[in-house]
Structure 1
């Protein structure tokens, strides 16, 4: 029987983790606080705080210049990735809410990265399907949106991702409910998605116990 080596994540241990990660800069910190104050009932949609430094690290590690984000909310993950982009890099951000993303726009401008972000307000599947697909070009993508469409988003992203490109997917443990066969809705959608990813011969993927589950998938050559 597999045994976890993960220690219980107490508040004290989580604080310790954050203290030993790169700190959020003032604009990132303000964005997190504004999100919680302006949208307290929806603040749980914000990417985990430790994801900001991690996403920036992955952008730099992969040398990504062309990023696609599916699910922007108030733009914390967007900001973190855009700040790590090299000169000339671009990030296409997909969301449906003008209200939520307006908070992000303010932060992006304050941070001086608004010119790197192409925000597209429309159903994300429509945006993705309108992107060029004749030659794989995406260096990195981050998927953190409505769980029922994860499989459809995945297909649009994988086919456009260059060999060696990275796809990062959030919430792939879905609050621990993925192991409960009686759990429907988002949990069932994520179970199906995880099975799809693990069987997809176009990628090599790992599912990590980071926050609510984080999957990293590297596109293989055809």
Structure 2
């Protein structure tokens, strides 16, 4: 099979999965937010709906009530998390870009889940360090989702693996970086090489972390799902 044929088949399979299993079950309010995000210059950064569907299922399997989101953008994954957790659930959502977050605010309000969300306008590392300073936060979160600056993924991981309880999940988005992690270096566009290298470095480090169990799912742009083992 040629590379081009493989790419075409992959796109066709993704289209099939979206049209058959994802879009028919996507909540209307999430679709509306996804449509609103599409016109944003960085709209491609939103969580892929097939990845979101998997995340919603995992949240419900965990019956997660206390979660963290590092990187919010317009809030597709945040709204999805809020819709997938109980009414008394709480989400610490961290992002320095309030302007993008405000795009999702009307949809979050209409969904009636705003009371679950504690949005913190800040870079994530200081907030995570602050959370760790309080012993009552350590090992108490059931779930964390990270879709932020790739070069800091390991720094986030070192903090989140302490905040998330044993048996809890941490998911990292974009770990396949458009498939370029498997490409020869010379085939990668120059503007993607630095982020690709960050993904490669993180993927190698996370695969060797004995504190967690992992599974890399090729949904969206790559989901690395980590279960804290000890």
Aligned to 2:3: none
Which residue is 1:210 aligned to?
A: 219
Match 1:164 to one of 162, 167, 172: 167
Counterpart-to-counterpart distance in 1, 2:144 and 2:225: 10
2-structure distance, mates of 1:169, 1:36? 22
Q: Kindly indicate which of the two structures has a greater share of residues assigned to helix.
A: 2
TM-score normalised by length of structure 2:
0.87
Partner of 1:200: 209
Aligned with 1:130: secondary structure? helix
What secondary structure does 1:44 align onto? helix
Partners in 1 of 2:184 and 2:16 — Cα distance? Answer: 34
Output the aligned Cα RMSD.
Answer: 1.9
SS class of match (1:10): helix
Query: 1:194 deviation in Å?
Result: 0.6
Q: How many residues are paired up? A: 214
Unaligned runs of at least 5 residues, structure 1: none
Which ranges of 4 or more aligned residues in structure 1 deviate by more than 4 Å? none
Q: Contact between 1:139 and 1:166, CA under 8 Å: does it hold in 2? A: yes
Matching of residues 174-193 of structure 1 within 5 Å: 174-180=177-183, 182=185, 184-193=193-202
The reply on whether 1:76 has 2:79 as its aligned counterpart is no
Matched, 1:219 2:228: yes
Match of 1:8 in 2: 9
Structure 2: tracts of 5 or more residues without a match:
1-5
1:95 match: 95
* 1:79 CA displacement: 0.5
- Aligned partner of 2:145 among 129, 142, 145: 142
Q: When the two structures are superposed, what TM-score results if normalisation uses the length of structure 1?
A: 0.90
CA distance in 1, matches of 2:15, 2:207: 32
CA distance in 2, matches of 1:10, 1:190: 22
The CA distance in 2 between the partners of 1:34 and 1:214, in whole Å, is: 24
Q: Are 1:51 and 1:77, in contact at CA under 8 Å, matched by a contact in 2?
A: no
Distance 2:182 2:42 in 1: 25
Question: How far apart in 2 are the matches of 1:15 and 1:7?
Answer: 11
